[in-house]
Amino acid sequence: MEVARLSSMGFVGRCLSSSASVSVSSLRTKELRGRVVQSIGVCYGVNGNNLPSPSDVVKLYQSKGIDSMRIYFPRSDILQALTGSNIALTMGVANENLSAFASDPSAVANWVKQNVQAYPGVNFRYIAVGNEVESGNTQNVLPAMQNMNNALSAAGLSNIKVSVSVSQKGVLADRYPPSNGTFSPEATSYMTPIAKYLASTGAPLMANVYPYFAYVDKQDQIDIKYALFTSPGTVVQDGGNAYQNLFDASVDTFYSALESAGAGSVPIVVSESGWPSAGGTAASASNAQTYNQNLIKHVGQGTPKRAGRIETYIFAMFNENDKRGDETERHFGLFNPDQLHAIKEIDEESNDYIVQMAGQGVACALAVALFIGSLVSIPTVYTPGIKPCRTHTNTFDLHGCMRALIVDQHSTAVRSIGVCNGILGNNLPSPADVVKLYQSNGIAAMRIYSPHAATLRALTGTDIAVIVDEPAIDQFLTLSAASDWVQSNIKPYQGVNIRYIAVGNEVSGDATRSILPAMENLTKALSAAGFGKIKVSTAVKMDVLGTSSPPSGGEFSDAAVMAPIAKFLASNGSPLLANVYPYFAYKGGDVDLNFALFQPTTATVADDGRTYSNMFAAMVDAMYSALEKAGAPGVAVVVSESGWPSAGGSGASADNARRYNQGLIDHVGMGTPKRAGAMEAYIFAMFNENQKDGDETERHYGLFNPDKSPAYPINSGRRRRPEKRKEREEVSCAPT
């Protein structure tokens, strides 16, 4: 695809109202039910003679809750319009500048000064050094990236990640199946060094992924259902990975190529994907709507090779009448140039999106999904930039606050946050009431510590994503026993959105030798029963590391146990579940409290070219380093527990618990210095549990008290009345 494009990343959930049909313009004020949040963006191109002004475009992004944008070259009017908007920006370097940037560091420094430092009010996220670079210019990409990183670092902007955007046809060999993916012979000479450089800086590889073009090129080999996410079952079986859509196969081919290049730890950001609504083969509004809608629903799941959310940018914001190339190039827009989107209404029936088409553009459920772009799926803790909301009677109104956040688009984006649901209390709400509390607060993911029947029944039909633990791993030591467990605990609850099964939690001693065979048997049993999409893992604590400081030195203490587990996870596309508690590191050692609480501090850690400003990121990256040393650099870390106690011990206070959980919510969308991108994390815990064993702090991790009231006292701070909006309850949210 051509260079002159903008992209944005928003986040998607499901909106509900009391009526069966609501207009898009009013969806922001409707009730929300918890859904798994997905990382979706929209590309906004500028190749048209009838497009809105940059200031109007930024307003459109904000009004739809789109909280990030990509531009392919710096434009002062766009940067000025973005100032103060808090929209996260990926800005490109034009391909024609690569030669100069590769040979002249001063040219790069001047570019940074003029286009980045000159706009301190713009929230820069990535710099993309080139887009689909071709021919001899490819040799300029890596030195230009290196000079860009050096210039950003010298300017004190090393938090901005530097990458390059590539296409499938441009860099991948035509290899099949996905596990055989490699860079083409022509691309290997420059892509292998680029991949290793990205691994060293913790930046992602940006990849433009278009099943549409693959389908058009090979209609005799590819079923359109496979390209549109509508195949009813597995189309490609690749070892233990089953592929039901071409998007996953394409992304995993990139991951295989990175692994072959010795850079398996590099994440993929899908920097473009879409389907045209007119102008060519299979280009219709109906197919475009089907593809984009299914893409939105899908990216929260990850791929067979890599579980977890995929940061993905849909192309494009507008139909662009001046784009060059095939006619289809002018018909990728979600919106027409008059800013009227192609959605008349969005209905919800049977928990599915139904999108009605209008005009020349392409309809997409994203238009409604993006309305919740600033919602944070955790109650009682602060959203960065927004104080907890109160009614005019100064009582905490969580529901009103959540609805206010839907409208106020300047807070940070939705993070990949779930909450652990412990049940060790004699005064806790019923499972049905707990599930309702998750839904009413927009919490879209839950971890439970056993296959508790009442909880699973309550979760049925909710679409809340669930981690189910089985603490008794001896139930999986034979395939027959594992199959019986699946029949008893998974098959009866097919209406539950089970994402992972954790084979044990913090297993220790000789029992660790049973983890791998138990995982292998459970994986086989799930696959045989038709539940192969459920990923199997185990939850570990930080004690599995013999070395954790500095983060690059992270190494498993018992590699004989953990290395085979790590490689098994890699082969099955499963993450490692890790319980990460900076509180215990602070309590047990010489750790600065602010460093542990995500607060500003001078006690930072410099390690291998990376700077750590908080303990959480350092701990997670130590786990990633251990996985790399164990030969499994592609395994993702899902933080299956993290939290801070509000009472009962050293440093345990309501204020510290609030600070930590707020910092965690704010942080997980950025990833770590070693691994950029949103990470999946679960706060421990939903409730204070009065029957938990151990130190007194163990009974004080809850976000809620057993009576469902917030566990933390909330300081009201300064309050202001927000701008009145249609159908919105009046609440006050004071900026920090």
What are the residue ranges of helices labelled H in 104-261?
105-112, 141-154, 168-171, 185-201, 211-217, 224-227, 246-260
Helix axes 654-668, 615-629, angle to 10 degrees: 50
Give the Cα separation of 736 and 728 in Å (integer): 22
For the record, the structure tokens of 245 come out as: 């859509």
**DSSP, res 95:** G
Closest CA to 660 of 611, 711, 615, 603: 615
Helix axes 285-298, 246-260, angle to 10 degrees: 50
Helices then strands, counting H and E runs in the chain, come out as 22, 26
Give the Cα separation of 387 and 411 in Å (integer): 10
> How wide is the angle at C-alpha 537 spanned by C-alphas 536 and 542, nearest 5°?
170
φ and ψ at 203, to 5 degrees?
A: -95, 155
Is 96 noted as a catalytic residue in this protein? no
Closest CA to 709 of 437, 448, 490, 487: 437
Is 132 noted as a catalytic residue in this protein? yes
Q: Which one is catalytic: 2, 31, 272, 329? A: 272
Give the Cα separation of 504 and 443 in Å (integer): 24
User: Could you tell me if residue 202 is left (phi over 0), alpha (psi between -120 and 50 degrees) or otherwise beta?
Assistant: left
Give the Cα separation of 267 and 248 in Å (integer): 14
User: Could you tell me if residue 290 is left (phi over 0), alpha (psi between -120 and 50 degrees) or otherwise beta?
Assistant: alpha
The b/e string for 659-668 (b: 16+ C-beta within 10 A; e otherwise) is bbbbbbbbbb
First to last CA, the chain: 41
Give the Cα separation of 125 and 73 in Å (integer): 14
Strand 497-505 versus strand 535-541 pairing type: parallel
For the record, the structure tokens of 148 come out as: 């860009």
Q: What is the DSSP string of 604-662?
A: -EEETTEEE-SHHHHHHHHHHHHHHHTT-TTPPEEEEEE---SSSSTT--HHHHHHHHH
Closest CA to 277 of 290, 260, 266, 267: 290
Contact criterion met (CB below 8 Å) for 578 and 543? no
Give the Cα separation of 538 and 574 in Å (integer): 10
Burial of 552 (0-12, 13-18, 19+ CB in 10 A): middle
Structure-token match 């071709």, residue found: 134
Q: What is the DSSP string of 36-48?
A: EEEEEEEEEE---
Contact criterion met (CB below 8 Å) for 142 and 193? yes
E strands of 51-199, at which residues? 68-71, 88-93, 123-131, 161-167
Q: Which one is catalytic: 2, 31, 96, 132? A: 132
Give the Cα separation of 12 and 373 in Å (integer): 7
Residues catalogued as catalytic: 132, 272
